[in-house]
Structure formats: C-alpha cells, structure tokens
Structure 1
Amino acid sequence: MRYVPFMKKRCEILRPDTDTVKQLSKVLKCSPVFASILVNRGMTSPENIFDFLNPSINLLRPPFCIKDINIAVQRIYNAIKDNEKILIFGDYDVDGVTATTILYQFFCFVGIDVSYYIPHRLTEGYDLQVTHIREQALANRINLIITVDCGSNSHEAVQAANKAGIDVIITDHHKISNPPPPALAIINPNQRDCSAGFEHLAGVGVAFYLLISLRKHLRDRHFWHNRAEPNLKEFVDLVALGTIADQVPLTFENRIFSVIGTKVIQGSKRTGIQALVEVSGLKLQAITAEDLVFRLSPRLNAAGRMGHAKEAVELLTTIHPDTAEQKAGLLNQMNVNRRHIEKEIIDEICQHINNNPHVLKKSALVFSSPKWHLGVLGIVASRLVEKYHRPVVLISTKGKEGKGSARSIPGFNLYEGLQACSKDLESFGGHPAAAGLKIKYEKIKSFEQHFEKTVQKMTGPNDFLPRIAIDYVLDFDHISDSLIDELESLKPHGPGNPAPIFMAKNVDVLSSKIVGGNHRQMQLRQTSGRTGKTFRAIHFNAKTDPPLKNSFEQIIFRLDWNRWNGKKTKQIMIEDTEAFAI
C-alpha cells in the first residue's frame, strides 16, 4: 500500500540563505518577506529580479537559433512569393485555437491564400492524420501544411503528404518521437537536437516565434516596402490566453506573454474577445490573468470539448459584433453543459470509490465507461488527482475502442509511465503531467495492471503525500498594504511561479459564516499578536471540512486584495488548517 487515503498534507518550511535575503532587501528596498520569496524562487540577481518584475516585449530572446526555423521561414516566403495555398492544421484546445488564429490572421494580413482546419475531438481525435492529407489537403490543392500545437508524432500523415508533393512544417511543443516525422521543418524546442532554450513555450508561443522570424525575413527582403508591417504585439493577447490555458511554466517568455497579453486584452479592440469578456460577466479594463485561466479559457475550451473548436476560432477572428455575440453565447452555453457533465462523472467515480474503499490501496486510478463524454475526461482526471493525489487515467469506450485522458502527480512522469505500458496502447502522447491515449477495449484490464506496477516502480511513498512549500512563517503584525502590493508584483501565478504560501501559528476564530453555499468566511486574530490585528479570511469549499474550531494551532494561507465595489481590503485565503510540518 503506497498511500493512506485522506492523510494530512505535509508542509515544508523553506529556509532561504539569511545573508542573501538581507542583501536583496537592502538593494531592492523591499521587505524581508518579499526578499525571502524571491530567493525561494531562485532569484538572487537584482538585474534578473528587475526584469522579472518589469516584463517587456523587448526582453524576448530572439528566436533565430531554434532548430529548423530558418528552413520554415524560407519555405513560407516562397509560398507567399509564388502565391501557393497554405493550410494551417491546429489542435482543439485553447493553445491550438489561439495558435491557429494568430497564424491565420497574419497570413490574411499578408494576402496569401490560407485556410485552417481543426479536427473534431470526438470523431477525428488528435493530430494530423492520413485522412486529413487526402480529404483536406489534396481535395483543396494545398501546397504547404503548417501544424500548430501538434504534429510531432504524425509519421504516416507526413509521409503521405510527402508522397503527394505537399510540404509539411511542424510547429509544436509536445514530446517528439524518435525518429521524428520526415517533415520539411520541425520547429519544436523540445526535440533532442534543439538547444535554443525555449522548452517552456506553449504551442502558441512557438507559433508566435515563427511569426517573429517570418516578419523579419519579409522585412529583409523589402516585402513591407509598399505595405504596412503588422504589429505583432496585437497578437500577444491570444498568445497569453493559449500560454496560460496550457499550464506551461510562467517564467521567461511565458511570463512576458502573460503580463503584456493581459494588458493588451484590457484595451482589446478584438470583437470576439470583447464579446467573450462580456458573456463571462467581466469588465474588459479590469481583466486579470486569473480571469484568463478561470473565466475565458474554459469557455474557449468548451468549443473543442462539447462541439467543434472552429467555433472558437470563428469567435476570435470575426469583426462583426452580432457574430461575436452569437458565438460567445454558444461557447458560454457549451461551458455550462460541460460543467454539468463533468460533475456527473466526478460524482459517479467518487461514489464508486466510497462504495469500494479498497480501490484506494492502489497507486493509480484507472476507470473506464461507455457513458462518459470524452471531451471532459481531462478536467475530471485533474479533479480526481487533486482529491486522491495519485495518477488518474479515465477512458471513454465505444465498441471495441477506447480513448482517454490521464493526469499525474509531481513525483510521477506520466509520459514515461505510458511509454512503459505502450504495448497495451494503440497510441499516446502528451507531457509528464498530462496525456491522451487510445486503447483497444480488451487491453484495458491489462493496461490497468501494468500501469499500476509501473507507478509503483517509478515512485516512492512520499510522492503520494501532498506537499505544501511554506515561503515564510508570517505573524499577523507584519501583514500590511505594502506587503500585499509587493506580492501583487509577482503575478500571474501558475506552474513555475506559484503563489507565495505563508504559515501563521496560534490563530483565534472570532466569527464564522457560510458564504456562496460552500465557503467559510471567518474573522481571525493571532493570539500572540502585539497589535491585535484582525483579518477577514476565506476558506473555499470548507463548509464542514475540517470541522469548525474556535482556534487553530496553525493555518496555511495566501494573501491578496479583496476587490469589491471599487474598494479593496486585505484578505487571507486559507489553504489548509490540518497540515503537519516536516
């Protein structure tokens, strides 16, 4: 047995070098708390910290050393010059949709004959396939295919394109097969012989860098001499959306894209974005990166999950307000449906686990059903990983075939785990933390057994115990407006740049009430505090877990502004009250 169900989380108090913290605090004129957080994130150079806190498009590193990018740019230039037909082949998630959109709009601006195609998630599945060469490329006399956010494992499709005399340029960021597909050019910073240092980019980031290189190539050949040159900053709104939605590390270029792109959205003239923001119940000028993650991205993703991703591309490319309003409303309703179906599947699986608690003796959870909607399985798997903290594979079966989504915990490389079980699978692809797969129905039981053994072999006991890294043990006396302003400068948070986590000890609960149906709002005061400061706190989804106490030995929390009706107040957001220190 690798994991004891519902065991308390373990928290580790980070202890940065005190001399480095003091020096940074002095040089940056910031609080020791803020300096400690920077050191905990591996930032000790004042110059690098300045760049991190002040993201600028000018800080983007040049892309010209990315493998094959010059080959791709020259081929696209020839296509433009010779008026060839280009097909952009995308993926159905937000990353793929935004990457498709920026390439499509750039080529439309140039004036070339360009079209795009995104496969249907349920009926066609992921990636460029041989049928697409026949039915989309040959049928429409395409000369050049450019993939975005896919293609790194499309051997047969690329071979079919080559045989038909159609060149293929792959732009992607997923794990690439060895040997790679025989494409004319593969722009994937994660391929083995590419040392450019852009492994963190999302698919839309790779596509954006292709546009940077292409625009310069065209400039060097005086293409823009008699026409306006496109301002690529106008595309950064979509780069931010795709980057944040794809959960890539929000460091280096991705941080720049996220911060600058959010600002571009705040002043957006893009009709589709305006409609999407409105249907999400937000105000354009007040959009935050968190809104991109939790409000806009789910609605864009709903198109590919519940219908067809082309609806999302049409929303982002339209210039007509009526069309934008109609498309945004459609995506919003799809998202409502998605949430309903997602809840049904989660409730079903959790009920099954409650009725069969022995399931939790396993190191991995593998479930299948013919009733499940494939489009939501990735989200459901993520929710189950959060709840049970172990790798999860969910498979939707139809006849003799099954398609599924998998999600993992930090201590287990999912891609390598699936690779070890590849004999049971028809195909698979993805990342260390998330993947998709195809499997024959009769192989599911065998896969479940092999996957369980693989997870056990590749993990240790501590990998199954949720870990919270504490940045600072913070007394309430030291919580101030200036500290929260400092913390704000670290946003947006996400992979690679987690929100700062604090611990406070001996905290009294002065009052408590339930808000929003399932959230507990409290007024807190620290017993040992000299100033007697009290703070409003919110503990999400904590109506009965844990039971309310009059005091806590310790709380694990985040700090932020609570903005409401034009006012802002300091707020504690409780993460945990039961964790134990190690």
Structure 2
Amino acid sequence: MEKRWSIKEEPHFDVEAELSAFEDIGPIIGRLLALRGITSREEAHAFFYPTLAQLHDPFLMKDMAVAVDRLSKAISSNESILIYGDYDVDGTTSVALVYSFLKEFHPHIDYYIPDRCDEGYGISQKSIDLAEEKNISLVIALDCGIKAVDKIAYAREKGIDFIICDHHTPGAELPEAVACLDPKREDCNYPDKNLSGCGVGFKFMQAFAMRKGVAFDRLLRYIDLVVVSIASDVVPVTGENRTLAVAGLKKLNQDPCLGLKSIIQVAGIDGKELELNDIVFKIGPRLNAAGRIESGNNAVKLLICNDEKEAYHIGCSINRCNETRKDLDRNITREAIRLVATDKNLSHRKTTVLYQPCWHQGVIGIVASRLSSLFCRPSVILTRTNKLIVGSARSVDGYNVYQAIEACQDLLENFGGHDYAAGLTLKPENVEVFAQRFEEVVAHTIEPAQLVPQIDVDVEIRLKDITQVFFDNLKRCHPFGPGNPKPVFVTRNVYDFGTSKVVGRHREHLMLELIESDSPKIIRGIAFGKGHLLNRIKSSQPFDICYTIEECMNNHPLSLQLMVLDIKWKSEQ
C-alpha cells in the first residue's frame, strides 16, 4: 500500500535558532526539539537532563489525600487489604509495585488478578464476593475501576471500601468509591493527564510515603516496573512519563528486579543496553502472554519473586506461554485476512469488524492491531465467551476509536479504553447491528487521509549531515515513544553506490549503500520487504528515501545505518 509522507511544519525560526545554540546541538536537533514543543533553553535542559525532582506533587491529584487517609487507617487498624489489577502488563506491574511496597509496612495484604475469560476486564462480582469471604475491608483497584459504578455499589453493600487508581476515561458517573484517583477526571487538576495505570499507582505510593516520612529511595526500588508499564501501555513518553521512563530504564539496565531479570534472560536481550522498544517487543509481550494464555497471576508472582531460581523458572514458563500466544496470533491473523479477502462487502468499508466464536480471547487485541495496520482502517475483532461476545478495537493514526465505540454504547454491555484501543462486550444478537453502526459512525467521522498509511517526517537532511557527533546528539533525545517518536528524516536525490543488493532467505530485503551526487560520503541502509525494487534502484536514477538512523550492530566499518521506511521516485510524487 502506497504511503503518504507528511513533513511537519517549520517551527518558529527564533525558537529553532535559540535551541540550536544550546550546548552546540546544531540546527537539526534544534528543530527536532522545537517540533516537540520545546521553546526555550530551560525546557531543552529539562528535556535532556530529566530528574526525579521534576515529578509533580502527588497530592495535586483529586482525592489523593482522602486515599492516603483511608490506606493509613487500614494499616493502623490492621485491616486486610486486597490489591486488584487488570491482567495486562500495566495492571500486573501496578499490582506488583503497590503490593511489594505496602508489604513492607503491612502483613495483611493480598493481590487478585481477574481471569480474562471467566471474569473479563475490570472489577468482577466474583472478586468482591471473595473479598467478603476473606473479611477484606479495603480494595485498591489499579488500571481499572473508573467506570465500575454498579460493582462498587455492590461492594459498598457488603461493607467493602474501594480506592480506585485508574487512567482510563471516566464515564458520565463516577463510582462511589472512597477515592477515585484518575488524572483524566474532569475535576482533577493534576498537571499530567497521561500517566499509565502503574504510574497512578506509583503516585499513590509516593503520596503515602510522603505522609509517613518514608524515604523516596524505598519506592524507587520499583521504578523499573513503571517504565515497563509506560512502554507496554503506549502512553506518551512526555512530561512526567519521560522522567519516570528515564529513571526506570536506568534501573532496568543496572539492577532490574529478579522477575524482569528472568524475562530479559529468556528473551535473549541480556547484555545489551535496553531501550523502550525492547520492552515493547520483548518484555511486554511475554508478561502479557501470562494473562492471555494462562493467568495474569503468574506475571505478578514473577514480578514480586525474591528467589532467583524461582524467578527464572516462572520466566521460562511465561516464555512458553508467549510461544503459544505467537502461534495463536499467527493462525488467527491468517484466518482474519482470508475472511477480509473473500468478503467483497468488506472491501468498500471504512472499518473491519470480524467475529468468530472459536477465536482465542487472549489474542484478539493483537489481531485487531495487525488488521488496522495492514488495511489502514479501524478494526474490531470479536469472539465468544460464555453467553457474551467480547471484542478488542484498534485504530489508525489520528482517529479516536474510543469515541466511535462510545457512539454505539446502547448496543453494548460494557466498554472502555483509550483513543487508539478499546475493549467491548455485547450480546450475540447485537453483533451485526453493532458492525453496521460502527461502520456508519466511522464513515461519517474519519478523514479520508486517515485511511491512507502516513509516515510523519520531521525534517529533510543530507546524507553528509549524518555524522557520529550528530547521532550522539540525537541519542540524547531518548527514550523515544508516543509524544517523542523516533525522528524520521527525508533525503532527496540519492543514488545507489553500485553495491546495493538483496538479502534474506527469500531475497525480500534491500541492503543499500547510498551516495549523493556532490558528496563522496557512503551511507549504508536496510529496507525490509523492498527487495523487489533492486533493479529500479540500480537504474542510475535518483530517488528519495525516508528513514530513521540506527547504530549498526554487526561491527560493519560504517558504524551508522539507515532503517529505510519508504522509497519514492519523482514520477510517484
């Protein structure tokens, strides 16, 4: 599918010039900072040198003081406390952090992760009944609960208090919990609205530590869990999240908890400097696989483990779950693609909605994401569990799929999520009418450009601009992620040096060596899936490339290489 290159607007010249002079970073890095909303040398300093001193006062969050008071009362009264969280990475890291930290101060504490298939997302009635049986009087819900109005009312009838720590968009009515900690509340003035669920839990524990005079360093022992949640839940790596991510990556690289250490080992990434992408593609999927295939309890058990041998044993078990997950993902994705290809009605739609009762509930979110990327349109994948249909929705760049799902809420039993990802539950008789309504909503609200794959380009540069000094300054912009994406560059009118070739088992990739007409500098690059362009590359005609810049990891004499995202000739533009 052809891609559009969207080059970002030029920032204000005076701002770019001032930033370029900051520590001699140069005009290209200066522009990258300006494009990220940085407007002064002071802001540039805070961006390059984030410190924990930049964290906001947790008591700025609505209901925080009430939450700390209730937790303190529970501890002083020797009440039994349950830490409850979602079964995904954000939820399990949240539970592991809060459980581990509070366990230092209170012995009567337990945790609970709902079963993905039997209980579904959010607070379940089963868990409340179990809490009543165990005489638990306080539940701390993490990464869920902000829309659980009925469940919290049910718990109140049983004399069970809830403190909700969530980061999802609230509904029209808040639950009657003791406290609802959620920066997305309309009446919450907390400066950063984009915390992960684990981030909200961290702020709660920070406030508790401040109230009790506990050294902050004791809480920072769990900061590696926060960065895993930030990367895995795809929240913006800006503001407070950037500060937490930098500190968390340092801990993850220098002294990870035993559970994460075991995952790093079984993933084969020990010994390298870990970045957010390593969490997204290596660590996060394995922790998620526990809840997708068996139980999210296994992920928490791993993350709170204090025995190295046991941690490695659990890590290997979770790794086997991940292999099963990959097989299910691969098979269901292939089946879904076949369904799209054979249904002529789907080819004219702005959405993809597919339902198969036998699809594994644990991987439908992954499949929805793959289809959205492949067909460049919002996708919903549905399967059956017990008497209901459950689904996962994923979006395309720039389109708020949560609002589209919300417009269909009269057909749903439950829903929740973010701008680009949502979950939903509905009755079997509503599947077809939901698919039609969702199509109508999206068709009337999505922009045509959002249905065409787009590559957002930061700046045009020359190959001769790519030096080690330039790249060293570029690395100072790490960690990259949503809100601070890895910079994408365009260079016009490049040529094959004469040594480009196809590589790969099926000769499907291009290994490039490129030059400009007025410079002897040779830059190496790799273009995955573009081996079919070799003859045209070698036609002596200039072409344009868009790419990111990486360090070459195989000791090649050219230490930097381009990850070429797309190639275009003048006739195609």
**Partner Cα distance (1:579, 1:433) in 2:** 33
> 2:195 & 2:18 partners in 1: Cα distance?
33
1:15-64, CA deviations, whole angstroms, 9 ceiling, x for partnerless residues? 22333322321243112111111111111211111111112112111111
- Between the aligned partners of 1:229 and 1:558, the Cα distance in structure 2 is 38
CA deviation after TM superposition for structure 1 residue 565, in Å: 6.1
Change (3 A) 1:546 1:233: farther
Choose the corresponding residue for 1:577, options 564, 567, 573. Answer: 567
CA distance in 2, matches of 1:368, 1:579: 41
Other-structure match for 1:538: 526
1:45 corresponds to: 40
SS at match of 1:436: strand
Instruction: Report the AA paired with residue 218 of structure 1.
Output: K
Which residue identity is paired with 2:332?
I
Q: What is the aligned partner in structure 1 of residue 402 from structure 2? A: 415
**Using the alignment, how far apart are the partners of 2:493 and 2:436 within structure 1?**
46
Matched, 1:17 2:12: yes
Say which of 365, 377, 398 aligns to 1:378.
365
**What code does the residue aligned with 1:314 have?**
K
- Return the TM-score normalized by structure 2: 0.95
Contact 1:525/1:532 (8 A) holds in 2: no
CA contact (8 A) 2:524 2:558 kept: no
User: Which of 345, 353, 375 is equivalent to 1:388?
Assistant: 375
Of the candidates 447, 450, 456, which is equivalent to residue 469 of structure 1?
456
Deviation (angstroms), 1:399: 6.4
Rounded Cα–Cα distance in structure 2 between residues aligned with 1:19 and 1:216: 42
Q: How does 1:293-308 map to 2 (within 5 A)?
A: 293-308=280-295
Which residue of the partner structure matches residue 183 of structure 1? 177
Give the letter for the 2:560 counterpart.
K
Partners in 2 of 1:179 and 1:423 — Cα distance?
Answer: 16
Taking the aligned partners of 1:298 and 1:248, their CA distance within structure 2 comes to: 16
SS at match of 1:577: strand
State the shift of 1:463 in Å: 2.1
Matched-pair identity in %: 33
Partner secondary structure for residue 537 of structure 2: coil
Q: Is the 8 A contact 2:3 2:454 kept in 1?
A: no
Q: Residue 492 of structure 1 aligns with which residue? A: 479
1:218 and 2:212 correspond: yes
SS at match of 2:559: strand
Go from structure 1 to structure 2 and tell me whether the alpha carbon gap of 1:97 and 1:41 turns closer, same or farther (over 3 Å shift): same
Matches within 5 A, 1:137-536: 137-219=131-213, 231-268=218-255, 270-284=257-271, 286-398=273-385, 400-509=387-496, 510=498, 511-515=500-504, 520-528=509-517, 530-536=518-524
Query: In the TM superposition, what is the alpha-carbon distance from 1:143 to its structure 2 partner?
Result: 1.2
Superposed CA offset, 1:59-90 (max 9, x none) = 11111110000000001001111111100111
| Alpha-carbon distance in 1 for matches of 2:380, 2:542 | 37
- 1:563 is paired with a residue whose SS is coil
CA shift, 1:470, in A, is 1.7
Kindly provide the amino acid, as one letter, of the partner of residue 111 in structure 2: Y
The answer as to whether partners of 1:149 and 1:173 remain within 8 angstroms in 2 is yes
The answer to whether the Cα contact below 8 Å between 1:557 and 1:574 also exists between their aligned partners in 2 is: yes
Match of 1:129 in 2: 124
Alignment correspondent of 2:95: 100
Which secondary structure does the structure 2 equivalent of 1:394 belong to?
A: strand
Q: SS of the counterpart of 1:444?
A: helix
The answer for unaligned runs of 5 or more in structure 2 is none
Deviation, 1:537, is 0.7
Q: Once superposed, what is the RMSD of the aligned Cα atoms?
A: 2.1
Matching residue's letter, 1:19 = D
Higher relative contact order (CA 8 A, sep 6+): 1
Distance 1:195 1:569 in 2: 47
Tell whether the 8 Å contact from 1:14 to 1:472 is kept in structure 2 after alignment. Answer: no
Structure 1 residues 374-409: Cα deviation after superposition (integer angstroms, max 9, x where no partner): 111111111111111110000012465210100112
Specify the code of the residue in structure 2 equivalent to 1:520.
Answer: H
Count of aligned positions: 568
Q: 389-398 or 344-353: which moved more?
A: 344-353
Whether the 8 Å contact between 2:192 and 2:239 is mirrored in structure 1 is no
1:560 aligns with 2:550: yes
Q: What amino acid sits opposite 2:90 in the alignment?
A: D
TM-score w.r.t. structure 1 length?
0.93
Residues 405 and 152 of structure 1: CA distance in aligned 2, closer, same or farther (over 3 Å): same
- 1:464-491 CA-partner distances (Å, limit 9, x unpaired): 1222222111111111001111111111
In structure 1, stretches of 5+ residues that fail to align are 1-5
2:27 matched residue in structure 1? 32
